Each structure stands twice: as structure tokens, then as C-alpha cells.
Structure 1
Amino acid sequence: MRVFVCEFVTGGGLRKGPLPPSLAREGLMMRDALVSDLLDLGVDVLMAHDDRTRAPYGAESVSVAPGDSVWRLWADLASACDVAWVVAPETGGLLAKLTRVVRDSGARVIGPDDETIRIASSKTLTASKLAAFVLTPPVWRPGEVPVDRAGPFVAKPDDGAGCEDTRMMTAAPTKTQLPKGHIVQPFVPGDAASLTVLRVEGRTRLLSANRQRIVVENGAFRFRGVGVAALEDRDGRFVAVAEAVVAALPGLSGIFGIDLVLGEDGPVVIEVNPRLTTAYAGLRDALGFNPAALVPPFSAAVCAPAAAPRHVEIAL
């Protein structure tokens, strides 16, 4: 079996412009963890890499240089493979486009269907789907925040990923205070967390509950790392959240992430990441076995250890 692995940032997606060190670092961590897991399962891995980054160990990789048509290259590489596993930000429809290009090449794509990616790529659409199933904050357009709602508020791009351009505001912003495409939500006090979830063959499995390191600097949210499996699910509330999110978005598939705030009223779902997240970089060490072996068509007989997952810290 031959697998095309494409992590957008390190795979050449930003070759026409600057390569932010923080994004490259996160991308390399996810890419290298996934490639290592797949190679250990005995499959051949084919990739592309931005020529400003190092090539992945053990995989066949094509260097992407200035002037290269990276989307055409990705399509050609995917067409030479049986399976594709892609990771990209939702911003600007990039994850949706990459998934579509790879699927059109004929490769089997690991991940959600197109409609689920479309919904999860929009904070507004995600909230509308989740509201009947889990606690989730409302979404307003700038200038449409109810007059009786007190701050603070969070402003962010509707199609952004992670903490990208996410800011804290004490008062509700007007239409002219935010860029086009931004939305407003009430700030939810509590501890930042995330879930790494597996959805295959109609079954949902919580792989790890993670503590996120998020700080606010000069009004901007910054992601500083994640404690993989740092949280225990003694009362089953995290499993319940994972199952409820899948009920709201039944097209979710593969390994994906759910961002939460652990507030006074329980877990509040902030967004759904329909792809691998940074937590995957520490998932194998945390679980004690290869998580890629749980995903068809790579599924193997994996015996999870009886002990609870081990806490693995990833600093950025």
C-alpha cells in the first residue's frame, strides 16, 4: 500500500510567501509523527516538502521550490497512491480544497466527507449544528451582539483555525472594528482543553483528553502547547461530548479534534477540527501504541494497555 501524506504548511502550501516558524514547527511535529506511525505499519509513504524545511525521515518526498505548481504536484503524487491523509487549516477553504483535489485524483482520503469539512470550517455553521447537542457559545456578526449581553467577547475569523487572529474585547465590536468575515462570541471563562477522537466504522472512541496552553497577550490569544492526555475522564463527560459532536456532525471520520472550555456548567464546545491537530504529535507516547493502526485501511490488532494514557507535554 502506498500513502500520500500532505501537511499543508510543510508540504509546500506556503512556498510562494513567508514560512512562519511557529506554523512550520507545529506542521513538522504532526507530519513526522504521522509518517513515523505509517512507516511502522509497513506502508510506503509519498510526500512533498517545502525546500525550506527538512525532508521527512524514511519517506519518499519531492522538494517544492519557488515557482513550482504545488497543487498540481499534490494531485500527481496522490494519483500515484492508494490512500491519502491530509492536514490543512480550514482558513480560506484550504482543507476543503486539498481534500477535494486529492479525492479527485483517485486516492482514498482519510477524514470527514466534504459537507462536514464545509460545516466545520465555519464557526457560524458549526455552532448552528452543535447547539441542539452540546453546550456551545452563540455566534454573532459584528454589530449584531444583543444589547443586553455584557463582555468580554472573543472576535475571530469565521473560517479561521486555532488562535489565528483571535482577540479578546471588553465591549461588543461594531461592524467597522473588525475585518470582513469575522464573528463575535461571548468569552467563556474556564480551562482550555481539547479532545482527540477516533471515528471509524460507526464507532466513536475518545483517544485522549488534553489540556491546552492558551494565553492572552496584548488582547490576542496565543497557543503555546498542549498536554496530551493531561485530563482524566472519570465521569465520562468527555466521551459524552465526543459522541454528541458526532451526532451533530455524523460525517466526521478518522482522527479529529474538539476544542473545549471547561466552564462552570461543564464542557463547552468551541470548535471542531476535522483533521489531525498538534496533539497527535504526542498521541503515540501517551497511548502506548500506534494510533494510526486504529484507522482503516491500516487497522491492525492493537491491544490498548490497561493503564490510563500517559501525560505527554508538547511545548510551542
Structure 2
Amino acid sequence: MTNDIILYEYFTAQKKLKNNDKKTILKEAIQLSNNIALNLIKHPKIRELHLVRNKNIKKIFNKKIINHEVSEHQSIKNILNNFKPGSKLILVAPETLMINIKLYNQLKKKFILLNSSLENIRRFSSKLKAYRNLKKKKISVVKIEKKIDNKNIYISKPTFGAGSLDIKILESKDLIMKPKNRVIQKFHPGKKGSFVMLCSENNFEVLCCNEQIVDINKKKITQTGLVMGGLESYRKEIEKIGRQIYENFSGLFGYIGVDILLEGNQWKIIEINPRFTSSLIGLEESYGINSLQKISKLYLENKLNRTKNKLIKKFTVKF
């Protein structure tokens, strides 16, 4: 049986492309969506991949890829209206301003979404809700502070935010009043990382263990890259965290990114992103083609066979 899949990546599917402070985000989004598309079309069971993106973004020319151009004269809504109900769609959208939740709610009425359940999207889009759920399940998670003092350094981030966007180090004068629609955590200067897990209904696997490259400039914290395979020496501890996530939250599906940090001698979860993340960009270079084949097999056959994913070499991805 052949499959047709629609790929809808939020930033690349806007009718107007942002060319200011979001230029880096757009570049990353183009790279990510290109990698998703080019990986999936290698699978023999896919017939056509429908790529929905702005007309000014360079097309991918391949007989299996159908390009659908979004413009001021052709909206995303009009394009999606042309597909049959029950078509399969992969949504890649940010948690910022609950964009992913809103789009999921709209799209699920017509499409079969190859994503985690709406319950999980809601649970992990909110940093506060994610913290409470992880804490309730007794899974190690970075604490969200209720009380703050001037003895520690704190960071502030949006309750609904994607990646390292708008993460700030707070000064003493900022601690008088808790910012609205933001969460506060203690600043941890130690090692930070992320791992990717693939989830199906009956199985899960930790695909890669990476170290994050973080830059601090003018009280802003930004992730500028990844060392793919940089945390492989901690795989045993990371796999334990992955199992806890999988066993406690049913309905996770596909590519799941988990950000972590080392607090003392214990790895703790910063956040869980139930969607494709930029780690995909460096996956083949660091872990080989087999890792990409596992992803396409899961999305196109709904099969996940756990076999050890070996690191070929560490590889740095710059954002």
C-alpha cells in the first residue's frame, strides 16, 4: 500500500516571510522541513509527499515531491481545502502562543495527524503544565520556582515558548514581581543537552544523545547549536528518562525531542517537545542512514523495531 503525506511546517508555510529577528528561525525551519521531506521520500511505500511552503522558498525538485505554494493570493487554508478528508498530515509547529495547539485543533477535523495526541500536545506545550505532570509522575524535572530570593541567579522564559526563544537571566531588580505568562527557574551553569526518542503505540527508542551549545549575551540565553552524540556517555541514564516518559504518557508518537540539564549528578528534564526538532539536521552525519530509516519506517509503516543506534562520529550542528 502506498502513502501520500502532507508536510506542514509552520514557519515555512507563512504567506509573508519574516526577515528580521526571525531570520535564523526561518533558516532553521527550511533546513528541518527539507530534511524531513528528503528522508521520507526515500521510503519505497511513499507515493507523493505534498510540501506546503511559501512561494519564495527554494523548491525541492523530485518526482515524489509535490510543491504547493503559499502566497498572498493563495492561502494555506485554500491549499489544504483541496485535499481529501482523511489525508495524512505531519504538523511541525511551535509551542509559542499555543500555535501548535490551535493548528492541531483545526487540522484534526479533516486530516489524520501523524503527531502525538492532542492531550500530549497540550500537556507539554505549557512549561508549567509539563512541570506539574512530570513532578506528579515522580520524573526528575527542573523545578519551577514559586518563591524567589536575591541569593540565586534565576532565568525567566515564556510559559508557552519554543526552544531558547526569549529566555532571559533576571537581575535582582527584576525579582520584585513575577513576570506575567512566564515561568522562573534557577540558573544552572552546568552541562545541557537533548535527546531524541521515537515513540509508537507499542515501543520506544532513544535515537540520539546530544550536547547543547549555549550562548549567553546581554542577559539572554540562546541555543546556537548541538554536538550530535555529545552525551552518548550518559546513554544509560538518558534511556531511563526516556522509558519513564514513554511509560507514563500514552499517546506519544513519532519524533520526540527532550531537553535536559545536569544538576549535581542527576539529569533533569527541562522540557519535552513532541515534534520534529533541529537535531534531525545532523542525524545522518552522526548516527548514519539507519537512524533516518527508522524514522521513515515509523511514519510510513507505523513500525518501530528497537535495534541499537550506534554513534558513527560526533558532529556539530550550528543554528
TM-score (norm 2): 0.87
Which residue in 2 is equivalent to 1:310? 313
Question: How far is the alpha carbon of 1:264 from its aligned partner?
Answer: 1.5
**1:45 paired residue number:** 49
For 1:92, the equivalent position in structure 2 comes to: 97
Structure 1 residues 272, 138: CA separation in 2 closer, same or farther (over 3 Å shift)?
Answer: same
Q: Check 1:126–1:55 CA distance in 2 against 1; reply closer, same or farther (3 A cut).
A: same
- The correspondence of residues 46-195 of structure 1 with structure 2, limited to 5 A, is 46-58=50-62, 59-66=65-72, 68-70=74-76, 72-73=77-78, 75-76=80-81, 79=84, 82-105=87-110, 107-131=111-135, 132-140=137-145, 144-147=146-149, 150-171=151-172, 173-174=174-175, 178=179, 180-195=180-195
Whole-angstrom CA distance in 1 between matches of 2:239 and 2:116: 19
Q: Which residue of 2 aligns with 1:36?
A: 38
| Alpha-carbon contact 2:130-2:271 (below 8 Å) kept | yes
For the residues of structure 2 that align with 1:216 and 1:231, how far apart are their CA atoms?
21
The 5-angstrom pairing of residues 9-28 of structure 1 reads: 9-12=11-14, 15=16, 18=19, 20-28=22-30
Say if 1:146 and 1:315 are closer, same or farther in 2 by CA, change over 3 A.
Answer: closer
| 2:303 counterpart of 1:297 | no
Return 262-271 or 129-138, whichever deviates more: 129-138
Residues 257-304 of structure 1 deviation map (CA, whole Å, 9 limit, x = unaligned): 000112323111100011010001122333322232341433579795
| Structure 2: distance between partners of 1:78 and 1:229 | 39
Equivalent in the alignment of 1:216: 216
Superposed displacement of residue 65, structure 1: 1.3
Is the alpha carbon distance of 1:306 and 1:150 closer, same or farther for their aligned partners in structure 2, counting shifts above 3 Å?
closer
User: Match for residue 204 of structure 2?
Assistant: 204
Deviation at 1:57, TM superposition (A): 3.5
Q: Is the 8 A contact 2:54 2:71 kept in 1?
A: yes
1:5 aligns with 2:3: no
Q: Output the CA distance in 2 between the equivalents of 1:39 and 1:235.
A: 30
TM-score norm. by structure 1 comes to 0.88
CA-atom RMSD in angstroms: 2.6
Change (3 A) 1:83 1:284: farther
Tell me how far 1:174 sits from its aligned partner.
Answer: 4.3
Q: Which runs of 4+ in 1 moved over 6 A?
A: 300-303
Q: Deviation of residue 165 (structure 1)?
A: 0.8
Which residue matches 1:277?
A: 277
State which drifts further: 167-176 or 128-137. Answer: 167-176
Contact 2:204 2:304 in 1 (8 A): no
Q: Deviations over 1:215-262 (max 9, x none)?
A: 111100112111222221456101001111223432321111000112
> Which is worse superposed, 207-216 or 60-69?
60-69
Pairs aligned (count): 308
Alpha-carbon distance change, 172 to 196 in structure 1, aligned in 2, over 3 angstroms: farther
Number of the residue aligned with 1:246: 246
Preserved CA contact (<8 Å) 1:133 1:248 = no
Taking a change above 3 Å as real, the CA distance of residues 235 and 115 of structure 1, as seen in their structure-2 partners, is: closer
Identity of aligned residues (%): 18
Query: 1:134 & 1:87 partners in 2: Cα distance?
Result: 26
Q: CA deviation at 1:67?
A: 5.1
Q: Note the residue ranges of structure 1 that are not aligned, 5 or more in a row.
A: none
Deviations 1:175-226 (A, max 9, x none): 7574x31121111231110011011122120000011111111100112111
User: CA separation in 2, counterparts of 1:252 and 1:303?
Assistant: 16
Query: Quick check: 2:17–2:54 contact (8 Å CA) kept in 1?
Result: no
